[in-house]
Structure 1
Amino acid sequence: MGFGTTKTLAKAANRAAKTYRKTGGVVGPLDDVRRDRLLGLMPVEDVWGVGRKLSAQMNVMGIITARDLQQFDHKTLRRSFNVNVEKTALELAGVSCFRFEESVEPKQTIASTRSFGVRVTTLEGLREAVATYVSRACVKLRSEGQLASCLQVFIQTSRFDDHPYSRTAICGLEVPSADTRDFVAAALAGLQRIYVPGYRYAKAGIVLSQFCSPHSYQSDLFAPTPRRNADALMGVIDQVNARYGRGSLRLALEPPVAQWAMKRDYLSASFTTDFNQLKSVKCQ
């Protein structure tokens, strides 16, 4: 966990907390001395918003560390790059230039993809994985208060296999929906079209798109009648899972324990989102 007086400094502190074990997982350079020490140790390519391409140009100009970027002439940065780079340098100096967004823009797509912990070789295993990913994506879709009318499902082997394979199917819904059952049916139909036996699949996923508000789309006179009480059912499922844990209520196709689940032997602690893993601080 990292915090600072600006968004860029907070990002830098967060990266340091993850990189340097001696920090204990928490970094907050609130005074100038600690801030400059941190920036002096951080390569410029690790600064939020810089990346490899910009850092290669900056290295030629003698900007090697985040501290170098902070001290560089701001007008020259603006002329050589753009105004965002100038603002980044100002933020590293403690001048707030990037405001925090009070309201989050609605998502345009929602994806749920995972690499398998073990290779999946059967259609049944892929069906379980795809149904699970669809359920997770639909929870996010409903939390956004949106409907979707398009779904993409993909499967792929490792690119390092001797004969790699990867395909995607695009599935459209006749009526925009947020019902998990509609999307699972569409995803499984798409999966059936792209599945080829004989491969050891390493990853699968789905992407929801073409969103609209429940009150802003034109209904189709000839579309099939929606399921009765679908919104109420999905709402109950979401409430139960939010209270008792994800997967407490699920579709029959979703396994309680997935054999293909992604390995998480080195998963980071969730002390910012889980009270049971909250860090304790001793005050003297």
Structure 2
Amino acid sequence: MTSFALIDGNSFYCSCERVFDPSIAKRPVIVLSNNDGCAVARTAEAKVLGIGMGEPYFKIRDLCRDNDVAVFSSNYTLYGDMSARLNAIYRQWSPDVEIYSIDESFLNMTDIRPEDREAFGRDLRSTVQQWTGIPTCVGIGPTKTLAKFANHVAKKNAELGGVCDLTQPAARRSWLDRIEVGEVWGVGAASERKLFGLGIETAGDLARIDARLARNLLSVVGERTVLELQGVSCLPLEDVPPQRKGCAVTRSFGTPVADLAVMLEAVAAYAMRAGEKLRRHGLEATHLAVFMHTSRFNHRDRPHSAQTTVHFPEATNDTFDLISAAQRGGRKIFKDGHRYAKAGIIMNDLVAARSQLRPLFEARDRDRSERLMTALDAVNAKFGRGTLLPASVGIKRDWQTKFDRRSPRYTTNIKELPIASAR
């Protein structure tokens, strides 16, 4: 019988901040979105204060000050590195690991005896805490949907000690009947309303309906969800990530952009970052879309939103090709007299590098392009991102997203290592 575990970090972004700053271990902590806009992570102490997910920071600034809340800008470099450390531990405990998100991973537990699975979860949780300082919860079940449901139960019920095993039918039925159907993985708000209208209010109610009825109500996804709740595994572990179909680099500006030259710098920088992503995953783009828009919340500025697509003669991941296309698109849609709040690069229908036939009379030297990109990536990997970059991305970059409250990149930047004091 198959068995899965879902392990995730509790208030992951906030926990990463606490690992390197013991002074905030007992304080409420929140992490803000880009440009320090709204709360995207909150510790339990912050939730008790009434700070909601997505709450704009300007609305809770006084509340945070009055209650000694530790407030941080997002530090994605730190969070990504800590996530990699967690998954390195998971791979020592299970040969098959699927990274579901930055703070969640599925593990294959099929080879572990049923009577040992809860102890396995507790040992894994303890090891992660000891080696990284990150608190976690573990959910165990015969399907991925039930493992995710068990993880939710473990989080919401402190008496379980952070681990919930729902491999046994009796335990499964008990918890499914206590929790609303909207908490089931794959049941969105619209589906929840539809199910409530039919008297299907709990996860247990959903598990007891006929799978064919679920297909009629909620499509094949709903049928699969019901089967998974019944203990029939329909979702295999994806330990080898599928090839990406798209790539996007989008940012809100630190200050509104009203000048074409500044906008072209920004889209060039986004295209450069997109090229790095493509090459890291062995992919190429056949076309590139550029978009920009003004703020929806600033009613003093005239609204404007535009997008255009630029096609390449042949698939590419060359930074200079991407920048050229991005700037052509940017010039086409930029309108004077507007103050833009956000712009970005979107690439869909990606293909594997060198998977397409070369034109007989190729306009560019592909081999030279690949050597140049390899050298560029190697220098930036060795000496730090941005060591070598095209002049078109600018130097001052006042438009960049603001992270005024960002903590140091403790684990990846030698200039920002934690300071130890001996007394």
Q: 1:254 to 1:65 in 2, by over 3 A?
A: farther
Q: 1:180 to 1:3 in 2, by over 3 A?
A: farther
Q: 1:224 and 2:326 equivalent?
A: no
Instruction: For 1:196-211, list aligned pairs within 5 A.
Output: 196-211=335-350
1:56 pairs with 186, 193, 211, which one?
A: 193
Question: What is the rounded CA distance, in whole Å, between the counterparts of 2:268 and 2:153 in structure 1?
Answer: 37
- Higher mean C-alpha displacement, 28-37 vs 140-149: 28-37
Question: What is the rounded CA distance, in whole Å, between the counterparts of 2:402 and 2:231 in structure 1?
Answer: 40
Q: Deviations over 1:41-95 (max 9, x none)?
A: 7543343222122111100122234344345555653554445324323434554
Q: 1:91 to 1:164 in 2, by over 3 A?
A: same
- Aligned residue for 1:105? 242
Question: What is the rounded CA distance, in whole Å, between the counterparts of 1:140 and 1:235 in structure 2?
Answer: 13
State the secondary structure of the residue aligned to 1:85.
helix
Deviation at 1:241, TM superposition (A): 3.6
State the secondary structure of the residue aligned to 2:321.
helix
- Aligned residue for 1:118? 255
Contact 2:294 2:303 in 1 (8 A): yes
- Aligned residue for 1:170? 309
Question: What is the rounded CA distance, in whole Å, between the counterparts of 2:287 and 2:213 in structure 1?
Answer: 46
1:138 pairs with 275, 284, 287, which one?
A: 275
Which amino acid in 2 is paired with 1:51? G
Deviation at 1:15, TM superposition (A): 6.6
- Aligned residue for 1:29? 164
- Higher mean C-alpha displacement, 111-120 vs 69-78: 69-78
Q: 1:112 to 1:13 in 2, by over 3 A?
A: farther
Question: What is the rounded CA distance, in whole Å, between the counterparts of 1:63 and 1:177 in structure 2?
Answer: 50
- Aligned residue for 1:235? 374
Deviation at 1:261, TM superposition (A): 3.2
Contact 1:174 1:223 in 2 (8 A): no
Q: 1:150 and 2:281 equivalent?
A: no
Give the TM-score of the pair, scaled to structure 2.
0.53
- Whose strand fraction is larger, Structure 1's or Structure 2's? 2
Contact 2:293 2:342 in 1 (8 A): yes
2:225 pairs with 88, 94, 105, which one?
A: 88
Deviation at 1:155, TM superposition (A): 1.0
Which amino acid in 1 is paired with 2:369? A
Give the TM-score of the pair, scaled to structure 1.
0.75
State the secondary structure of the residue aligned to 2:237.
coil
Q: Which runs of 5+ in 2 are unaligned?
A: 1-7, 9-136, 413-423
% identical equivalent positions: 38
Which amino acid in 2 is paired with 1:54? S
State the secondary structure of the residue aligned to 1:29.
strand
Question: How well do the aligned residues superpose, as a CA RMSD in angstroms?
Answer: 3.9
Question: What is the rounded CA distance, in whole Å, between the counterparts of 1:86 and 1:147 in structure 2?
Answer: 36
Q: 1:254 and 2:420 equivalent?
A: no
Q: Which runs of 5+ in 1 are unaligned?
A: 275-284
Query: What is the number of equivalent residue pairs in this alignment?
Result: 269
Q: 1:80 to 1:170 in 2, by over 3 A?
A: closer
Contact 1:240 1:249 in 2 (8 A): yes
